[in-house]
Amino acid sequence: MSKQRYFLSAFAALTVFVGSAAASQPSPQNKRAPTPTKPPQIANELDNELSALITQFGITGHVAGQSSAPNINDPIPQLGMQLFFSKALGGEKSVACASCHHPKLGGGDSLSLPIGVNAIDADTVGLSRQAMNDEIDIPRNSPTIFNVGLATKALFWDGRVEQVSQEDEAGNVSTFISTPDSGFGLADSNAGDSLVEALSRFPVTSVQEMRGSAFNDAQTNDDVRSHLAQRIGDYGVESGGLATNAWLAEFRKAFNSEADAPSLITFDSIDLALGQYQSSLTLVDNNWNRYVKGNKNALKPAQKRGAKLFFTQAAEGGAGCVNCHGGERFTNDGFFNLAFPQYGIGKNDDNADLGRGLIDPQIQNQFAFRVPSLLNIELTAPYGHAGAYETLEQVVAHYVDPETAIDAFFERGGACGLKQFAQSSQCELLNANARVNSQAALTLLQSSPFVAAPLDSAQQKDLVAFLRALTDNCAKDKRCLQKWIPGPKTVDPDNLRLNVLSRHKG
């Protein structure tokens, strides 16, 4: 018998000898805490109604593609993260992809309209990022990169990067990606294997967003990309273009290759890494999905009421949101004119932005924009193609009464009433033709299938509460998001990393 067991046996005998009554009294420190129990899940009438709607619309709580998304800890997504945060991909080395799409800013920039190469301070993001001379030259809001890898049809507000399926006379179906390089509806042989890879090829070519005045000899988008690949790879006409350059070692590690720089560091490998990084930001762990999978306590009563409104048609007293924002990703991936306020520099000479209508000029596409996913919508303000609405409450009010919501936008000052432009001396320039263009969009809306949601103020609050139940736990946790942001141990191959949130609050 071991010494420990002998001691325990002797102690037990001594306890009995002293007195069984005393031994029967448990000491306070030995009392066991009661085993925690989950709150009882009692389905009420509202739960039953929601269950029927969930069944009706085939909701499962599982988002297609989430299980096959790249892992941020894998080598190629890690390389993509380094590239995403490097200003070396900016023509003038003054802007990174993360300048307008930062994980800690909801995957966007928290601005109504982005500021690219003309930022006063290149190392700022969010509301700290201000334009030189208050000049705004990018017409559309920065979409979030959260869950961008789950998109199946199109990206960009107008869908100009698009997955296209065509059937020939023999019934053979071909699928390809169309981009601005190939032209609308035509296959781009350089697009890569995914929409995200294809998207990653274009911001670097935009003079306003990332290119600036660099590469004067570049005549095409591919010329710009070639310059950037040579800069990163330290070869060709861009040899020596970076004062510090350790990229070759990082590419070799990521691709498990000992190839030379011209072979390994092409823009195809760059956009692959960028696409893998962005696709790894798959954030779909939210309370709604928990509820759908059976946890009736995952939603608060207001959120349950809001969910019922969301999935119920307007003619039946609901909001009818499901018609465009259906499915597990809460989008039908279509294009729709919602007549959100038309302010800003727009895409036309009169400051209008016709959206999808600029690349596919059918009447239903005029002022139409891609229907965004509502996953993590709480974190991605401001909302709309130009960021005209700063709160979910304002967005829901627009669905209830677009004309009144547009009037309220201009009563707040239009552009001058937005946080980004409140102190701008040029804000009134962003209001030029804004009312006229907004009315044009509203007139088309009134002849479209759009149906206003007949919600009172209490119902609107419930709907907003439900939208907040679509937020992933990690997406709102800055510590959790840190895995998608280069840390102090992450190699900085060119000393041009955007690293701003420790100094600026956006």
Q: Does residue 249 share a domain with residue 316?
A: no
Report the chain's mean pLDDT, rounded to a whole number. Answer: 92
Angle at 140 between CA 134 and CA 141, to 5 degrees: 90
Range of the domain at 209: 75-283
Q: Are 260 and 268 in contact (CB under 8 A)?
A: no
Tell me: do 334 and 259 sit in the same domain: no
| Whether 260 and 376 share a structural domain | no
For residue 441, the model assigns a pLDDT of: 98
pLDDT the model gives residue 169: 87
Closest CA to 304 of 60, 44, 61, 56: 44
In a domain, 40, yes or no: no
Claim to verify: residue 98 and residue 157 sit in the same structural domain = yes
127/269 same-domain check: yes
Asked if residue 394 belongs to a domain, the reply is yes
Whether 352 maps to a domain, the answer reads yes
Percentage of residues in the chain with pLDDT exceeding 90? 88
In a domain, residue 229? The reply is yes
Residue at 96 is within a domain:
yes
Q: Using one digit for the tens of pLDDT, what is the confidence trace for 107-129? A: 999 999 999 999 999 999 999 99
Q: Among 258, 283, 308, which residue terminates a domain?
A: 283
Question: Does a structural domain hold residue 23?
Answer: no
pLDDT tens digits along 160-215: 999 999 988 888 999 999 999 999 999 999 999 999 999 999 999 999 999 999 99
Note the pLDDT tens digit of each residue in 204-247: 999 999 999 999 999 999 999 999 999 999 999 999 999 999 99
Alpha-carbon Rg of the chain, whole angstroms?
Answer: 27
**131 and 152: one domain?**
yes
Decide if pLDDT at 50 tops 90: yes
Q: Are both 276 and 290 inside the same structural domain?
A: no
How many other β-carbons are positioned within 10 Å of the β-carbon of residue 255?
Answer: 17
pLDDT tens by residue, 444-469: 999 899 999 999 999 999 999 999 99
Check the CA dihedral 89-93-97-103 and report its sign: positive
Query: Are residues 87 and 236 part of one domain?
Result: yes
Q: How far apart are CA 82 and CA 261, in angstroms?
A: 17
Q: 434 with 415: CB under 8 angstroms? A: yes
Residues 278, 291 share a domain: no
For residues 386 and 447, membership in a common domain is answered with yes
Report pLDDT for 168. 86
Q: What is the pTM of this model?
A: 0.90
* Position 156 pLDDT exceeds 70: yes
Q: Does residue 16 lie in a domain region? A: no
pLDDT band at 440 (very low <50, low <70, confident <90, very high): very high
User: How many domains would you assign to the chain?
Assistant: 2
Percentage of the chain surpassing pLDDT 70? 90
User: Is it the case that residue 10 has pLDDT exceeding 80?
Assistant: no
**Is the same domain home to 203 and 262?**
yes
466-480 pLDDT, tens digit per residue, is 999 999 999 999 999
- Looking at the structure, do residues 124 and 184 belong to the same domain, yes or no? yes
Q: In degrees rounded to 5, what are phi and psi of residue 25? A: -85, 115
Average pLDDT estimate for 395-417: 98
312 located within any domain: yes
pLDDT at res. 25: 47
CATH of the domain at 233: 1.10.760.10
